[in-house]
């Protein structure tokens, strides 16, 4: 039938467009991967040699031995893990107070959080900097960590999750005389595991990829995180294409692994940002 042929043609055209777009999305990564195994002179140029004829791991070796890449890596892992743990803990406790406890001023504080949420971080980066340097924390990891401990997003997301836990679960424990900390830790949090996983992945993603924060607060090489380190590597050795590509790969890999392993949680978090208002 004519109509169904037309539909099939439309579908085929759509599929081709989608595939082409998909290739556009992935091509720069494949190019980076392939270039990272090449020597400098064979990287640029066209047609692209997708599979290097003389693959070399020299770039990676140089990166990890001659440059402080290991330090950048360890620094990033350190601040990322500390922030993931503390931000989740603080947000969960705050969310528990909002969702399950009663005290005067609760709604006022909640409203305050809500109304400051629209203030863009970039609009307060200068006073934040003045406070942090006033505390003599410039060029320290503590600065990076402290600034990330409060997250309105995490608090709201945990609050939503906790409000969905049936009240009967905690009420019976409360009647039995359990302390709030125990109720939260043993009953509420285990029911919020998917949200906790989402927050972990989200915060990890943010911390691992953060550039502006480290750019403002970190100065010495021994303190730099991966993105800042990569950017300084690029400005110092802009002609060392292979080295930069290897560095870029190393900066990308942890996030790619986490993405492939925990895709569903990341997507859940993004969906939450889309419905929050």
Partner 1 sequence: MPVKKISATRRRQYMTGYLFLLPNFICFLTFVFVPIIMGLVISFTDYNGFNKFNFVGISNYVRMFADEYFRISFKNNLIYTAATVPATVILALLLAAALNSGMKGAGLLRTLYFFPTISSMVAVGIVWSMLFNPSKGPINGVLTALGVQETPNWIASSSTALLSVMIVAVWKQVGYYMVILLSGMQVIPKSLYESAELDGANTVQRFFHVTIPLLSSTLFMVIIMLIINSFQVFDLIAIMTEGGPGASTNVLVYRIYQEGFNYLRFGFASAEAYFLFLVILLITLIQFIGQKKWVTYLD
Smallest distance, partner 1 to C-beta of residue 152, A: 8
Binders of partner 1 among 58-97, rule CB under 8 A?
89-91, 93-94, 96-97
- Name which position in 16, 20, 26, 57 contacts partner 1 (CB under 8 A): 26
Q: Quote the DSSP letter at residue 38.
A: S
Alpha-carbon gap, residue 129 to 135, rounded angstroms: 10
Alpha-carbon gap, residue 128 to 123, rounded angstroms: 10
- Name which position in 180, 187, 191, 219 contacts partner 1 (CB under 8 A): 180
Smallest distance, partner 1 to C-beta of residue 108, A: 12
In angstroms, the Cα distances linking 190 to 15, 25, 48, 194, 212 are 42, 37, 51, 9, 34
Report if residue 147 touches partner 1, rule: CB under 8 A: yes
Smallest distance, partner 1 to C-beta of residue 88, A: 11
Q: Do 59 and 245 touch, CB atoms closer than 8 A?
A: yes
Residue with smaller CB distance to partner 1, 81 or 89: 89
Report if residue 274 touches partner 1, rule: CB under 8 A: yes
Residue with smaller CB distance to partner 1, 64 or 129: 129
Smallest distance, partner 1 to C-beta of residue 153, A: 12
Report helix, strand or coil for 17.
helix
Report if residue 270 touches partner 1, rule: CB under 8 A: yes
Candidates 43-51, 64-72, 162-170, 187-195; binding stretch for partner 1 (CB under 8 A): 43-51
Alpha-carbon gap, residue 215 to 204, rounded angstroms: 18
- Name which position in 10, 20, 70, 85 contacts partner 1 (CB under 8 A): 10
Alpha-carbon gap, residue 257 to 136, rounded angstroms: 36
Report if residue 22 touches partner 1, rule: CB under 8 A: yes
Residue of 102, 207, 211 whose CA lies nearest to 149: 207
- Name which position in 32, 71, 142, 219 contacts partner 1 (CB under 8 A): 32
Which residues contact residue 93 at a Cβ distance below 8 angstroms, ignoring those fewer than 6 apart?
184
Alpha-carbon gap, residue 111 to 215, rounded angstroms: 32
Smallest distance, partner 1 to C-beta of residue 193, A: 20
Residue with smaller CB distance to partner 1, 71 or 209: 209
Q: Quote the DSSP letter at residue 121.
A: G
- Name which position in 31, 64, 73, 138 contacts partner 1 (CB under 8 A): 31
Which residues contact residue 83 at a Cβ distance below 8 angstroms, ignoring those fewer than 6 apart?
144, 145, 148, 149, 203, 207
Binders of partner 1 among 102-141, rule CB under 8 A?
102-104, 106, 109, 112-113, 116, 118-131
Quote the tokens at residue 121.
């971080």
Binders of partner 1 among 197-216, rule CB under 8 A?
205, 208-209, 211-212, 215-216
């Amino acid at each position: 039938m004519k109509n169904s042929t037309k539909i099939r043609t439309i579908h085929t055209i759509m599929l081709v467009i989608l595939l082409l777009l998909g290739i556009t999305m992935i091509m720069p990564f494949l190019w980076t991967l392939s270039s990272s195994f090449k020597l400098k002179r064979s990287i640029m140029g066209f047609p692209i040699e997708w599979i290097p004829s003389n693959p070399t791991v020299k770039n990676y070796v140089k990166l990890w031995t001659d440059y402080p890449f290991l330090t950048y890596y360890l620094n990033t892992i350190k601040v990322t893990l500390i922030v993931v743990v503390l931000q989740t803990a603080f947000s969960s406790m705050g969310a528990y107070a909002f969702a399950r406890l009663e005290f005067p001023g609760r709604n006022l504080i909640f409203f305050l959080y809500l109304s400051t949420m629209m203030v863009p971080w970039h609009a307060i980066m200068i006073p934040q900097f003045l406070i942090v340097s006033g505390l003599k924390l410039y060029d320290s990891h503590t600065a990076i960590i402290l600034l990330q401990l409060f997250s309105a997003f995490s608090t709201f997301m945990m609050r939503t999750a906790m409000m969905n836990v049936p009240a009967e679960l905690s009420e019976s424990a409360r009647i039995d005389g359990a302390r709030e900390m125990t109720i939260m830790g043993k009953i509420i949090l285990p029911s919020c595991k998917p949200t906790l996983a989402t927050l972990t992945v989200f915060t990890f993603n943010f911390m691992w990829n953060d550039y502006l924060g480290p750019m403002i607060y970190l100065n010495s090489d021994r303190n730099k995180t991966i993105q800042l380190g990569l950017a300084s590597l690029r400005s110092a050795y802009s002609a060392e294409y292979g080295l930069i590509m290897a560095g870029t790969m190393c900066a990308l890999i942890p996030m790619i692994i986490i993405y492939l392993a925990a895709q569903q949680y990341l997507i859940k978090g993004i969906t939450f940002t889309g419905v929050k208002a």
